[in-house]
Amino acid sequence: MQHPVFTVLARMDSALAFTLKWICIALFVAITFILTLNIVVRFAPFMSMHWFDEILELLYGALIFYGAAAVWINHGHFSVGDWISKRLSSVPARMAYRVLVELASLVFICIFLKYAFDLTMSTEEETTVFSMSKKWLYACMPITGAIMVIYSIKNMVVSLMQIAHPSALAPKVENLNH
């Protein structure tokens, strides 16, 4: 029987992954619509699209960062492969290796989160057309950085739990790691 905490965490993982997936789909649809509208307006100039660059910048930035968080949750980001852990004979050694990889990722993401948050909070610029604070453009970076920090910590905890109790947690850990 699975512990209720693991069930709740797995549901939260699924809900966040589902939300990020649909955010990315909506952003992609909006980008496609605006790009198509821009092409149509070039041939049939029925409206001005002086706002085109401003909105596209916002949408592309959000798509990139929310997409990065979505693949971070699902371990879908590209890598050179897991050729090192296959050469480690014991489960605790493989889990220790995973902890080290997650720790390196966590350090990088924490640095990214700090600078993204600083940039977002310190900007005083406004967009040209809508006079919207550029904080809205930058907000996706600290939000997604925080999500990635949380999941890096979660992955480290799961790996540490597997080191401590390799056989007892194997089924539960697989549910958490998708």
pLDDT digits (tens, 9 = 90+) for 88-114: 888 778 878 888 888 999 999 999 999
Higher pLDDT, 59 or 79: 59
DSSP state of 87: G
Helix H or strand E segment including 127? none
Residue 21 CB neighbour total at 10 angstroms: 15
DSSP state of 165: S
By CB neighbour count within 10 A (0-12 exposed, 13-18 middle, 19+ buried), where does 89 fall?
exposed
Residue 42 CB neighbour total at 10 angstroms: 9
**17 near 70, Cβ under 8 Å?**
yes
Q: What is the pTM of this model?
A: 0.82
Higher pLDDT, 43 or 86: 43
Reference 120, options 136, 131, 132, 144; nearest CA is 136
pLDDT digits (tens, 9 = 90+) for 34-69: 999 999 999 999 888 888 888 999 999 999 999 999
Higher pLDDT, 6 or 84: 84
Q: What percent of the chain has pLDDT over 90?
A: 50
Looking at residue 61, its pLDDT comes to: 93
Interatomic CA distance for residues 21 and 19, integer angstroms: 5
